[in-house]
Amino acid sequence: MPRRHDIDALRVIAFALLIVYHVGMVYVADWGFHVKSAYLAEWLQWPMIALNRWRMPLLFMISGIALGLARIDRAPLRFAARRCWRLLLPLAFGMFVVVAVQAYCEGLANGRLQPGFWAFLLRYWQLRPWPSGSFTGAEFGITWNQLWYLAYLWLYTMLLVALLPLRTLRTAEWLAGWRWPTWLLLSLPVAWLAMCRLVLAPRFPETHALFGDWTVHAQSLPLFLAGYAIAGNIGFWERIRALRWPVLAIALACITIELTIRAGGRYLPPDAAVPAWVPWAEVERIARAAYTWTALLAIFGWGQVLLDRRFRWLPYCTEAVYPWYILHQSLIVPLAFWLSPVQLGPVLEPALVLGGTVGGCLLLHELVIRRAPLLRPLFGLKRGRATAHCAAERVSHSLDLTKNARLQRSTPARSRVPDACP
């Protein structure tokens, strides 16, 4: 099966947006985060809501698609062992080493910890509960913060491997291959996501604690399994490519409805002439569900058109995604914590936090992590200083260019087709 460059590119773009989103969490008004700046902006809520609705669903679907394209059913037990190594080792290392600085800065910002990082670290490694309000996860004595995605991805992957021998998963693949009517393709996932928001979310708020986080599981696990089921289905991908304009229009309409209702509840006076018989909260949640699914379809449809090509930066960025994901928030939080008292202003401070985060990830990944065989597995990379993936990509790219050049020389000029690869 040919490599899906659009899926690789979407993964890179999604994690890049994750860095921007977490920097925005420092400055968005009325939203909690590990540290907050004095320069808070209410307007940031609107673009961040629009991004929030599909950023994690996209990552879970991409993870499922990647497993479907990898054909893990050929050696599921060996794959499960490798997956445990590549997910649980970075998770454990990240929790005990990388994320610790976030908890320390949050505790200092809350006034619940005394200065002294090494003393904090020795206490943190004991896994004893901290006083209430010390930092996120203090009741467990340790935290995984943004690394919760790795724990959930490991759980879903193990569940997928367990389901591989069962006919239920084959049935799901068959259903994914059926040519669904457009209205069903759009409405059934929206109905499920709406049920999650209407029924589960009020009873089970999102915690990212793995156990008891039923709303997140109900949304993320089906999207992960759906990604696996549709991965190799050419008909499905052709379908959403053809629907990319309509679903984009629907997604824009749905997020407009959600944001309008939110703005009305926030800014309209209590005595405003608003129809009382309309269940505005329910309409907002349904619009949110519809936006999530149609935005995903639009992203995948447009990704095929714009991103399914051999970008020269893609092999390097594909390798860098994992270390950058582990590192980025442990740079954002300390940078924001140290820069906030300096009062640099609402433009320079976030620019330095974002620039310092990107620069720190780049330097640590390029100069330290990828060049140290002992560190590579701790950040989810395969052993070896040169990655076989990057080398294979370069060789394959050269072979494709050579093949295309020979084809063009042997083809009459009037029938030559422009090369789609850069």
**pLDDT tens by residue, 214-228:** 999 999 999 999 999
**How do residues 81-138 score in pLDDT, each as one tens digit?**
999 999 999 999 999 999 999 999 999 999 999 999 999 999 999 999 999 999 999 9
Q: Which residue would you say has higher pLDDT here, 172 or 152?
A: 152
pLDDT at 360 exceeding the cut of 80: yes
Q: Which residue has the tokens 């400055």?
A: 27
- Number of domains, the chain: 1
Give yes or no for a contact between 94 and 144, defined as CB atoms under 8 angstroms apart.
yes
Does the residue 169 lie in any domain?
yes
Does the residue 252 lie in any domain?
yes
**How do residues 297-317 score in pLDDT, each as one tens digit?**
999 999 999 999 999 999 999
pLDDT at 50 exceeding the cut of 70: yes
pLDDT at 292 exceeding the cut of 80: yes
- Is residue 166 very low, low, confident or very high in pLDDT (cuts 50, 70, 90)? confident
H helix or E strand, kind and range, residue 188? helix 182-195
Give yes or no for a contact between 53 and 255, defined as CB atoms under 8 angstroms apart.
yes
**How do residues 379-405 score in pLDDT, each as one tens digit?**
999 987 544 444 444 434 443 444 444
Does the residue 117 lie in any domain?
no
What pLDDT does residue 171 have? Answer: 65
User: What amino acid occupies position 136?
Assistant: T
What are the φ and ψ backbone dihedral angles of 41, each rounded to 5 degrees? Answer: -125, 125
Does the residue 128 lie in any domain?
no
Does the residue 135 lie in any domain?
no
What pLDDT does residue 113 have? Answer: 95
Instruction: Look up the domain containing 165 and give its range.
Output: 5-99+144-385
What's this model's pTM, rounded to 2 decimal places?
Answer: 0.89
What pLDDT does residue 413 have? Answer: 34
Does the residue 402 lie in any domain?
no
SS3 54: helix
As a whole number of angstroms, the distance between CA 205 and CA 156 comes to 20
Token digits of residue 355: 């620039």
What pLDDT does residue 410 have? Answer: 38
Does the residue 275 lie in any domain?
yes
Q: Which residue has the tokens 């519809």?
A: 290
Token digits of residue 56: 């994690």
Does the residue 112 lie in any domain?
no
**Residue 28: beta bridge partners?**
41
Asked which of 23-37, 261-275, 281-295 is least confident by mean pLDDT, the reply is: 261-275
